[in-house]
Chains A and B, each alone.
Chain A
């Protein structure tokens, strides 16, 4: 199936008879990117699935009112990011996640509990290293390192200046590298 432009999807979504078909296209087009963005933040598949479902429901409710002054892709990432942060905050309140010394969430235990976890593999070590970052910095790192998002767009997703994001990414890279080399 050829990819549809955001404009085509939005136009079709406005037509009552094509609403569900347009939404299906939208989900298919962005589901993997959003899933992995969420998964890297919440770690477990079931958690990621729950968060992603909530994201799509928000999108369904808000798409009609979406104004094309930002890209659809940016808007989707913003919803996904907010849902991730809300979910992690809920987990923190329930006491169902481990917290670091500064009260931030650390999901290292969940990573180690993954059936395919291999402490010798660099990819897994990198996931553990990311848990050492504060949440916002972890977001900046994943959006840049994994999703290759330009700072300009990231600035819209996280509502932070490009300069602050660059500095944040710089710090994140250094911390991650330090973890990989010294632990």
Chain B
């Protein structure tokens, strides 16, 4: 319903010679301006919400530019897309056929086997000293080159301070484990009993 006649009558009542038909806009807008507005506004809302969240979480990080410092070769995105050849069926590979997975499983089984072996075959209770003795024995069996490699490996990765520097309080109090119940933790420890509930105590 148009109110235009009302506006026209009102102008007449005001003894105005102002013509109601002048109401056409002389301004122009870019073509298609209104078509993408809703999407643009939603994108802007998301951007601002993300920024506000970051401001609250880390003012330092929110002050940094999000510009990515990497570069791409000139015209990289302008290259025409080449028509792909006939599609080849994607091979489905079981994860157990992956070499690293097999090695990992083998290592875990071997470790568990040695541990159980030690535990069951020793008449004396398994203590830290017996484990250390076993390790020392293994090390003695190595030749000089192997010993050197082992020393390099240990020296490269460990400073001896790692455990002492770990602050796990946050992890339990308000960190990742905050929502894990006591019962779930107990079950987890029972499942890993081979490692954690052994009699390795001093």
Contacts and interface: CB of A to CB of B under 8 A. Distances in A.
A39 B11 contact: no
A67 interface: no
Contact of A173 (B2, B11, B41, B48): B11
Given A122-B22, A127-B26, A60 B3 contact: no
Contact of A56 (B11, B16, B41): B41
Nearest to B19: A122
Given A45-B27, A123-B24, A173 B16 contact: yes
A32 B20 CA distance: 20
A94 interface: no
A32 B24 contact: no
Nearest to A44: B27
Contacts of B14: 170, 173-174
A23 B38 contact: yes
Interface in B1-52: 2-4, 6-7, 11, 14, 16-20, 22-30, 34, 37-42, 44-45, 48
Contacts of A173: 11, 14, 16, 18
Contact of B30 (A45, A53, A144, A146): A45
Interface in A99-151: 114-118, 121-124, 126-127, 144-146, 148, 150
Interface stretch (A6-14, A85-93, A175-183): A175-183
B46 to A, nearest CB: 10
Contacts of A117: 26
A181 B25 CA distance: 20
Contact of B7 (A23, A31, A122, A148): A148
B28 A57 contact: no
A57 B44 contact: yes
Contacts of B18: 173, 176-177, 180
A20 interface: yes
Contact of A27 (B3, B7, B30, B37): B37
B38 A28 contact: yes
Contact of B27 (A20, A114, A181): A114
A169 B6 CA distance: 14
A144 B37 CA distance: 26
A123 B22 CA distance: 6
A31 B34 contact: yes
B31 to A, nearest CB: 12
B3 A148 contact: yes
B17 A177 contact: yes
Contacts of B39: 24
A135 to B, nearest CB: 19
A31 to B, nearest CB: 5
A59 to B, nearest CB: 9
Interface of A: 20, 23-24, 27-28, 31-32, 35-36, 39-40, 43, 45, 52-53, 56-57, 60, 114-118, 121-124, 126-127, 144-146, 148, 150, 170, 173-174, 176-177, 180-181
